[in-house]
Amino acid sequence: MSSPAATPEFGSSAIGMPDTREAKREVAGLWWAWLVTGAMWFVASFLVLQFDEASVTTVGLIVGLMLGFAGIQQMILAMFADSLRWLWALFGALFLVGGVVCVFNPEETFAGTADVLGFVFFAIGVWWTIRAFLERETSALWWLGLVAGVMMIALGFWTSGQFFIEKAYTLLVFAGIWALMHGVTDVVRAFAVRSLRDRL
């Protein structure tokens, strides 16, 4: 008859499943990844907003890289999401495909994006709104994403009535501001995850 000390505890680790608390601690240990990506978004916003007479090719490439980084982030979030992983992965794949298209066709991408800028803003606003509700249980700052999403949807309707030249300049400003907002969000998220790690 085995002693109580030798009796295995039927926890998650006893059946080959990782301990939830330990897994959360490991994920929280990657808080610096959000800090790095936030800094990269700040650099992208600085480059875009410096253009006086914008180089269409350069802006197309930067937009492509921004979409590519956003796609990679969505894929990483899909790996660690508690639910609806397919939704994160789907948007990640769409962002990655869009990024590749932008990089290989920067001029056409700029013209095409400016031409359908209203729809692009609307689609981004819808995604930000959905993501805000998905993060409602895990983030105290989920309402910031909701406000940004609603504003982006409204901006999409407003932009749809502009002429092409106005849309082109709006695209430049938006690309810079979007990168800046993304950087701020990632930096805030990095320190939120770091505080979670300290509590764990």
Q: Consecutive 10-residue runs of the chain (200 residues): their mean pLDDT? A: 45 47 64 83 78 64 82 84 81 89 83 80 87 82 86 85 77 79 85 70
Burial code (b: 16+ CB inside 10 Å, e: under 16) for 73-102 equals bbbbbbeebeeeeebbbebbebbbebbebb
Q: In the block, which residue shows the tokens 């920067």?
A: 106
Residue 57 has which token pair?
A: 């090719």
Single pTM value for the model = 0.54
Signed CA dihedral, 92, 98, 102, 104: sign only: positive
SS3 35: helix
The CA-based diameter of the chain, rounded to the nearest angstrom, is 84
How many CA atoms does the CB half-sphere of 95 hold within 13 Å? 22
